[in-house]
Chain A
Amino acid sequence: MDFRFDIVTDYMPFFLKGMGITIGVSLAGVLIGLILGLFIALGKMSSNRWIRLPFNIYINIFRGTPLLVQLLIIHFGVVPLFMSPSNPLVSLVIGLSLNAAAYIAEIFRAGIQSIDRGQMEAARSLGMTRVQAMKLVILPQAVKRVIPPLGNEFIVLLKESSLGSVLAAPELMYWGRAAAGQYIRVWEPYITVALIYLVLTLSLTYLMNYVERRLNTDDQR
């Protein structure tokens, strides 16, 4: 098999630009997902079943349907209601954020519920409100337990952002497909793109391991 490195070098500027966008949309997705996810997790833990209901429905819908379907509906159905023409990057960030929020909410909920019930009781018995107890006692302890699963979610999101190519959002996979189309070649563009994704996810894995180790040594308590 002859591997045409000239295709790789020709397209490298686009791959790098796409990589930047892949990192950008994933980061935006995780950050917005974190904020929404915390909100949804707290809502899902409400003692009132009618408040819980919409949050449950949200989580079930976004975890129970393919991200690709969600992206198509958002890009061609929802976003055009607010902006025309709809921008694929905007749609991609919205889709990734909403989808990540559902998973992150469950991560937060599991983390919060893993904290011993006595912690909340002690805080409340001292006169703290529920919100104060959450903020001062429960969440700081839960954070450490949610870091590893959040790291996983970030990696999943980074890979799934490749679905943005279907919306013609100019992220990494989009340029891979563009190169494949232009040169009518399979191996060079896709292997290159795959390697770039691999470098990104492995770097993230190392970063997460480092953060985890730091948290653990901080925590010789």
Chain B
Amino acid sequence: MINVKNLKKSFGDNEVLKDISLHVSTQEVVVVIGPSGSGKSTFIRCLNMLEEVNGGQVLIDGKDLTDKKTNINEVRTDVGMVFQHFNLFPHKTILENITLAPMNVRGLKKAEAEEKARTLLAKVGLAEKAAAYPDSLSGGQKQRVAIARALAMEPKVMLFDEPTSALDPEMVGEVLEVMKQLAKDGMTMIVVTHEMGFAREVGDRVIFMDNGYIVEQNEPKALFDAPQHERTKSFLSKVL
């Protein structure tokens, strides 16, 4: 489903991703962990070309995003993204936030898009908020709407960049619950997070990134209980 080959990315002289290769299968849930500044966000943003890459290849469902001929907007409709700071559209209602892209990008009729949006809102437990505006929602509710908004495009892959890091602790659970359900439903997911409990329980594989490289990857249990590399050990000893 996702195939990353020798990905490189620099900001000026700062080489942030040095040589990343990764294969993610359909329905797999991959959790990315690592210290601040290790390049996790940059990596996940390269997977839908929010960052331009400097070398290597990113293939999603067989389409090479680094190829100039690939229609990047079309690929993005297959790749949902959830941001740390939600990025809901403040001038639109919750329902409009969800229907905007399906109507304008997929060309869905309003009634059709709204019906789908209501189904998704019910799924994330926010059916009664359809007519509200984002500012009136709590952080956890906003993030659940953001997930519904991404799902409305019926993506094949979902990317999460620290979806719970901006939330008050008591709201983390409700968002993780939605993500857990999504994983159960068979969504292919890449999740950058500091929630080790989630990684352990939901992840099929955990990737430890440091300094622009994938240092180590394994099944959650193996990686958390018996890390192989010194850097992984010292990182885990600080966060667990």
Docked pose: A116 CA to B88 CA in angstroms: 11
A132 on the B face (CB < 8 A): yes
**Do A122 and B73 touch across chains, with their CB atoms under 8 A apart?**
no
Task: Looking at the assembled complex, report how far the CB atom of B34 sits from the nearest CB atom of chain A, in whole angstroms.
Answer: 21
A121 on the B face (CB < 8 A): yes
Residue of B nearest to A144 (CB): B91
Residues of A within 8 A of B153 (CB): 126-127
Number of residues in A with C-beta < 8 Å to the partner?
Answer: 18
A114 on the B face (CB < 8 A): no
Docked pose: A125 CA to B79 CA in angstroms: 7
Residue of B nearest to A221 (CB): B133
Residues of A within 8 A of B106 (CB): 127
**Do B89 and A128 touch across chains, with their CB atoms under 8 A apart?**
no
Task: Looking at the assembled complex, report how far the CB atom of A108 sits from the nearest CB atom of chain B, in whole angstroms.
Answer: 17
Residues of A within 8 A of B77 (CB): 126-127
**Do A125 and B76 touch across chains, with their CB atoms under 8 A apart?**
yes
Interface centre among A116, A118, A127 (most CB of B within 10 A): A127
**Category for how many chain B residues contact A:** 20 to 34
Docked pose: A168 CA to B76 CA in angstroms: 58
Task: Looking at the assembled complex, report how far the CB atom of A158 sits from the nearest CB atom of chain B, in whole angstroms.
Answer: 30
**Do A122 and B105 touch across chains, with their CB atoms under 8 A apart?**
no
Residues of B within 8 A of A128 (CB): 73, 101, 104-105
Task: Looking at the assembled complex, report how far the CB atom of A50 sits from the nearest CB atom of chain B, in whole angstroms.
Answer: 19
Task: Looking at the assembled complex, report how far the CB atom of A109 sits from the nearest CB atom of chain B, in whole angstroms.
Answer: 19
Task: Looking at the assembled complex, report how far the CB atom of B200 sits from the nearest CB atom of chain A, in whole angstroms.
Answer: 28
B42 on the A face (CB < 8 A): no
**Do A118 and B85 touch across chains, with their CB atoms under 8 A apart?**
yes
**Do A127 and B89 touch across chains, with their CB atoms under 8 A apart?**
no
A127/B73 contact (C-beta < 8 A), A121-B83, A122-B83 known: yes
A60 on the B face (CB < 8 A): no
Other-chain contact of B91, A116, A124, A140 (Cβ < 8 Å): A140
A136 on the B face (CB < 8 A): yes
A129 on the B face (CB < 8 A): yes
Other-chain contact of B105, A116, A127, A221 (Cβ < 8 Å): A127
Task: Looking at the assembled complex, report how far the CB atom of B95 sits from the nearest CB atom of chain A, in whole angstroms.
Answer: 14
A113 on the B face (CB < 8 A): no
Residue of A nearest to B78 (CB): A127
Residue of A nearest to B74 (CB): A127
Residues of A within 8 A of B85 (CB): 118
Residues of A within 8 A of B135 (CB): 221
Per DSSP, are chain A's interface residues mostly helix, strand or loop, or mixed?
helix
**Do A129 and B73 touch across chains, with their CB atoms under 8 A apart?**
yes
**Do A119 and B87 touch across chains, with their CB atoms under 8 A apart?**
yes
A146 on the B face (CB < 8 A): no
B124 on the A face (CB < 8 A): no
Residues of A within 8 A of B50 (CB): 121, 124-125
B14 on the A face (CB < 8 A): no
Residues of B within 8 A of A123 (CB): 89, 101
A126/B76 contact (C-beta < 8 A), A141-B90, A221-B133, A221-B136 known: yes
**Do B101 and A127 touch across chains, with their CB atoms under 8 A apart?**
yes
Residues of B within 8 A of A121 (CB): 50, 83, 87
Residue of B nearest to A135 (CB): B104
B40 on the A face (CB < 8 A): no
Residues of A within 8 A of B101 (CB): 123, 126-128
Residues of A within 8 A of B104 (CB): 128, 132, 136
A163 on the B face (CB < 8 A): no
B46 on the A face (CB < 8 A): no
A16 on the B face (CB < 8 A): no
**Do B149 and A118 touch across chains, with their CB atoms under 8 A apart?**
no
**Do A125 and B48 touch across chains, with their CB atoms under 8 A apart?**
yes
Task: Looking at the assembled complex, report how far the CB atom of B211 sits from the nearest CB atom of chain A, in whole angstroms.
Answer: 25
**Do A136 and B100 touch across chains, with their CB atoms under 8 A apart?**
yes
Task: Looking at the assembled complex, report how far the CB atom of A68 sits from the nearest CB atom of chain B, in whole angstroms.
Answer: 41
Q: What are 22 A-B contacts with C-beta separation under 8 Å?
A: A116-B87, A119-B89, A121-B87, A122-B89, A123-B101, A124-B73, A124-B76, A125-B76, A125-B81, A126-B76, A126-B105, A126-B149, A127-B76, A127-B77, A127-B101, A128-B104, A129-B73, A132-B104, A132-B105, A136-B100, A136-B104, A221-B135
Taking A128-B105, A221-B91, A221-B133 as known contacts, 7 extra A-B pairs with beta carbons closer than 8 A to each other, sorted by chain A number, are A121-B50, A124-B76, A125-B50, A126-B149, A127-B74, A221-B134, A221-B135
